Structure 1
C-alpha cells in the first residue's frame, strides 16, 4: 500500500482520498475517510470512485475536470452522495500532488444540523477545548485592567478605546466558549444582524493600529437586508481578511488601499442539508492593492497549512472557510499582481436545517 508523502493528509479531520494520476483508481485514504465510508482501505484500494455508491459518479466528473498543472485545484459544493443508505451533502476540494489526485470531502448528513463526525474529529475537539481553556485565563485579566483604566480616564477617545478592549474581550470569550464545543454544530447564537454594524466595529480595531499609510474605502449598499448568522463569527472572518490585506500591503512599498464593498446579489444559491435551495443575496467584498497571492497558492489558499507568509501557520483562511460554510455561505478569491479580492456571500434567512 502506497504511503502519502505528506503526513497532514492522515491527520486531516475531513475524509481525504488519493487517486492515481490517471484518475482511474483509489491509491490511499485517511482514517477519517475509513470512518465515514465504514470500510477499510484494503476494501477500496484499486476501485474507481464511481463504485463507492450513489452520487459518487458526479464527484468523478469533477475530478476529471481538474487540470494537469501542479498548482491546479478545484473546489465545489452541494453534491449529494449516499453512504450506508444515508444521504450526505458534500463540499469538496480536489488538487494535484506528486503522488496523484487528492480529494478532500466535507460531508454533512442531510436532515441533520451536525457535521458528520469522524475519528480524528475527537482529537480536534480536544485541541479546541485545550485552546479555549488557555485563552480564557488571560482574558479575565485583560478585561479587569481595562475596567481599572476606565476609572482613571476622562478623555472620550480614551474611554472609547477601553470600551473597545472590553467589547473585544467579551467577543473572544464567546468564541472560546464555542471552541470548547468544536466539532458540534450549535446554531443557538444565529440571529438576524446588520452586516454594516459588524463592519464598522471591525474597522474600529484597525483604525487604532496606526495604519496611516493605508486608506480604507467603504462602498456600502444601505438597502441591504439583515444577514442571518453568528455576528461574532462573521466579525472574526472580517478581522482575518482585513489583517491579511494589511499584511499584504505592508510587504510592498506602495500607497495602500483596502476597499470594502457590500452589495445585493441575485441568482446565487446553495443547498442546505435537506437538499433545498437557499439564496445568498448579501455580498461583502474585500479588495487590496498588495502584491497578490502567489500563483502556485491561489487555488489552495483555503486548505489547512497552506500559506505564503514566512511566519504563517496556514490556518486563518481554513478557519474562515469553515465559518462561512457553517453559515451555508460561500467564499471565493481572485488574485493577480497588484490586486486581491475576497468575496463572501451570506444568507438572510435561516436554512431549513438550522432554524
Structure 2
C-alpha cells in the first residue's frame, strides 16, 4: 500500500445553488455522504457502480461495513475521526465487489459536525506521484550500484588524499574549500555504502533534528556549483519543530531535488528555485501492515519556474532509469523517493500550469523527545 499526506480540504454544505447531493451526482468518482453515526446518507451513481449495489441498499448502511479494510491485522480508526484523511493504494472490500486497491479520501464538512464526504478512486492517482513498491527496475538499479560501488570508492579515496595534501601546504589559505572537498567525499562514500540497500525496506537510523542547517548546506553546495546561475530563494517557517530525520539522507535528498530543478532551468530566462517549509496541521495518513494512522506535518517544498516534467513520464517519475533529460541517468528522483521513504516520509510532484511552476513536496514525521 502506498500512503501520502494530501491536504484534503473540508467541505461546506451549499446554502444556495446546487445542493451537495446534486454536486455528488455529477462527480466522476464513487462518493458517499456519511452521517455522524457512520450511516450512509447519500451515494452517487459512480458509488453504485463501484460497490455493485443499488443506491437504496447503500443508503442507511454502516460505512465501516460497506467499505472494509482488507489488510490482515489492520487497525484503522478512520471512521471515528473528524480530521481529513487520505490513503493511497489501500486494499478494501467495497460493497459486493472483490478485493481491490483504491485511493480513499475522507473530507469533513464544515459547520456540520461529524458529517463527512467519502470518495473512492478505483484508478489509483498515487501512481501519478510515484510508485512506492520495489520494482524490477529498482532491483536493476541495485545490481548496477553493486558493480559500480567498488570502482567509485577507489578514486574517491584518492581525491580525499589529494585534498588533505593541498590543505597541509596552503598555510590556511582556502582551507574551507579543501575541507568542503573532504566532507563531500566522505558523504558520497557513505552514500555509496548505502546504495547496496537501494531496494530494501530497512529503515534509516533517524533522530529529531533541525532541518534548516541541512537545507542551507545543500543550497550552499548548489549555489557553488550546478546552480550557480540560478537564484535560490528561501522562505522558512521559523516556528517549525524538529523533524525525525537522517541528516545525511536529507542533505542528499535536497541536493538531488535542487539539481533536478537547476537542470530543468537551463533554457529559462530569470531562473529561480524557491525552498519553503511549513507545518501542516491535522491531516492523518493511513499506514500499511496494520500500523494504523500516522502524521507527517513537516513540509519542505522545492519550487522552480521551469517547464515541468514531460507528460509521458509522469506515471513513472520516481522509478529508476526514467528521465526526460538527454544525458540523464534517471536515478536522482528514484533515490529521493527511497531515502524519504526510509525516513518514513513521502515525496510527491505537482505542476501549476497557470503559475508556470513545478513543485516537489517532501512530508516528514515530527521528531519526538
Normalised TM-score (structure 2): 0.61
Residue of structure 2 in register with 1:98 after alignment: none
Q: How many Å apart are 1:128 and its aligned residue?
A: 3.4
Q: Indicate if the aligned counterparts of 1:129 and 1:182 stay in contact, CA closer than 8 A.
A: no
In structure 2, C-alpha distance between the alignment counterparts of 1:170 and 1:285, rounded to whole Å: 27
Q: Indicate if the aligned counterparts of 1:128 and 1:181 stay in contact, CA closer than 8 A.
A: no
Q: How many Å apart are 1:143 and its aligned residue?
A: 0.8
Which of 99, 104, 108 is residue 57 of structure 1 equivalent to? 99
**Judging changes above 3 Å, is the alpha-carbon distance between structure 1 residues 244 and 61 closer, same or farther for their aligned structure 2 residues?**
closer
Residue of structure 2 in register with 1:232 after alignment: 248
Which of 144, 148, 161 is residue 131 of structure 1 equivalent to? 148
Deviations 1:89-123 (A, max 9, x none): xxxx379xxxxxxx96727xxxxxxxxxx999876
Q: How many Å apart are 1:336 and its aligned residue?
A: 4.2
Residue of structure 2 in register with 1:269 after alignment: 284
Pairwise mapping of residues 190-339 of structure 1 onto structure 2 (< 5 A)?
190-209=206-225, 211-252=227-268, 254-270=269-285, 271=287, 273-337=289-353, 338-339=356-357
Pairwise mapping of residues 60-71 of structure 1 onto structure 2 (< 5 A)?
65-66=122-123
Q: Indicate if the aligned counterparts of 2:297 and 2:365 stay in contact, CA closer than 8 A.
A: yes
Q: How many Å apart are 1:56 and its aligned residue?
A: 7.2
Q: How many Å apart are 1:261 and its aligned residue?
A: 0.6
Q: Indicate if the aligned counterparts of 2:232 and 2:274 stay in contact, CA closer than 8 A.
A: yes
Residue of structure 2 in register with 1:346 after alignment: 364
Q: Indicate if the aligned counterparts of 2:226 and 2:259 stay in contact, CA closer than 8 A.
A: no
**Judging changes above 3 Å, is the alpha-carbon distance between structure 1 residues 327 and 144 closer, same or farther for their aligned structure 2 residues?**
same
Residue of structure 2 in register with 1:106 after alignment: 133
Q: How many Å apart are 1:192 and its aligned residue?
A: 2.0
**Judging changes above 3 Å, is the alpha-carbon distance between structure 1 residues 349 and 292 closer, same or farther for their aligned structure 2 residues?**
same
SS class of match (1:228): strand
In structure 2, C-alpha distance between the alignment counterparts of 1:155 and 1:210, rounded to whole Å: 26
Q: How many Å apart are 1:185 and its aligned residue?
A: 4.1
Q: How many Å apart are 1:199 and its aligned residue?
A: 0.7
Residue of structure 2 in register with 1:171 after alignment: 187
State the structure with bigger RCO (CA 8 A, min sep 6), 1 or 2: 2
Residue of structure 2 in register with 1:148 after alignment: 165
SS class of match (1:314): coil
Normalised TM-score (structure 1): 0.63
Q: Indicate if the aligned counterparts of 2:198 and 2:338 stay in contact, CA closer than 8 A.
A: no
In structure 1, C-alpha distance between the alignment counterparts of 2:197 and 2:316, rounded to whole Å: 27
Q: Indicate if the aligned counterparts of 1:191 and 1:229 stay in contact, CA closer than 8 A.
A: yes
Residue of structure 1 in register with 2:113 after alignment: none
Which structure 1 segments of 5+ residues have no match?
1-22, 24-48, 67-72, 76-92, 96-102, 108-117, 351-355
Length, aligned pairs only: 259
